[in-house]
A and B are shown apart, each in its own frame.
Chain A
Amino acid sequence: MPEKLKWKDIFKQILLQIFLLAVTATVLFPILWVFSIALDPRNIDKPLELELIPPGASFAAFHRVLFEPYKLLCKNPTDLSTCMTFPLLLKNSLFVSLGTALFTVVLGASAAYAFSRFKFIGREAGMIGFVAMLMLPATGTIAPLYVLLSQIKLPGTGEALRTTLLGLMIAYTAGALPFSIWNLKGYFDTVPKELEEAALIDGATPTQTFLRIVLPLSLPALAVTVLLGFMSGWTEFVLAWLLLENPSRFTLPMALRSMQGQFSTPWSDFFALAIVMSAPPVLLFFALQRYIVSGLTVGGVKG
Chain B
Amino acid sequence: MTIPFLGRKKRKLTPEERARLWKETRRAWLYIAPAGVVMLIISFFPQVFQLWMAFTDYRIKNLRFNLFDSSTWEKYAPPFVGFENFVKILTSSLALENYNFARLLTFNVVWTVANVFFHVVIGVAIAMALNEKFLIGRRLYRALFVLPWAIPGLITAVVWHNMYDDRFGAVNQLLAVLNQNIGTHFPTDIKWLIDPTPPIGGPLSFLPLAFYAVLIANIWLGWPFMSVVATGALQSIPAELYEAAAIDGANGWQKFWKVTVPLIRPAMVPAIMLGTIWTFNNFNVIYFISGGGPFGRTEILVTQAFKLVYEQRLYGVGAAFSIVVFFILLIITLIQNRLTRATEAYNA
Contact = CB atoms under 8 A, between A and B. Distances in A.
A151 B302 contact: no
B322 A139 contact: yes
Given A143-B315, A173-B38, A27 B143 contact: no
Interface in A29-82: 29-31, 33-34, 45-50
A12 B132 contact: yes
Nearest to A173: B38
Contacts of A47: 168, 173
A87 interface: no
Contact of B158 (A19, A45, A140, A260): A260
Interface string B31-63: 110111011011111110110011000000001
Nearest to A242: B310
A144 B274 contact: no
Contact of B154 (A20, A114, A135, A253): A253
A27 B144 contact: yes
Contacts of B25: 118, 120-122
Contact of A206 (B27, B41, B326): B27
Contact of A122 (B29, B45, B270): B29
Contacts of B257: none
Nearest to B309: A139
Interface in A194-208: 206
Contacts of B151: 31, 278, 281-282
A24 B129 CA distance: 13
B150 A235 contact: no
B32 A111 contact: yes
A27 B147 contact: yes
Contacts of A143: 53, 63, 315
The majority secondary structure among interface residues of chain B is: helix
Contacts of A103: 38
Given A120-B28, A300-B267, A174 B163 contact: no
Interface centre among A9, A29, A281, A300 (most CB of B within 10 A): A300
Interface residues of B, number: 104
A111 B21 contact: no
Interface residues of A, number: 105
Given A119-B21, A181-B35, A278-B152, A135 B309 contact: no
B154 A127 contact: no
B165 interface: yes
B136 A13 contact: yes
A29 B156 CA distance: 12
A285 B43 contact: no
A182 B278 CA distance: 15
A301 interface: yes
A296 B309 contact: no
Contacts of A292: 146, 228
Interface in B318-341: 318-319, 321-322, 325-326, 329-330, 333
Interface of A: 9, 12-13, 16-17, 19-20, 23-24, 26-31, 33-34, 45-50, 103, 106-108, 110-111, 113-115, 118-124, 126-145, 147-148, 151, 170-171, 173-175, 177-179, 181-182, 186, 206, 231, 234-235, 237, 253, 256-257, 260, 267, 270-271, 274, 277-278, 281-282, 284-286, 289, 292-294, 296-303
24 contacts: A19-B129, A23-B126, A48-B168, A50-B176, A114-B27, A115-B32, A120-B29, A124-B6, A130-B39, A135-B329, A137-B305, A140-B309, A140-B318, A141-B50, A145-B42, A147-B67, A174-B38, A235-B153, A237-B154, A278-B150, A278-B155, A292-B146, A294-B232, A298-B274
5 A-B pairs with least C-beta separation: A46-B168, A174-B42, A141-B46, A140-B319, A299-B270
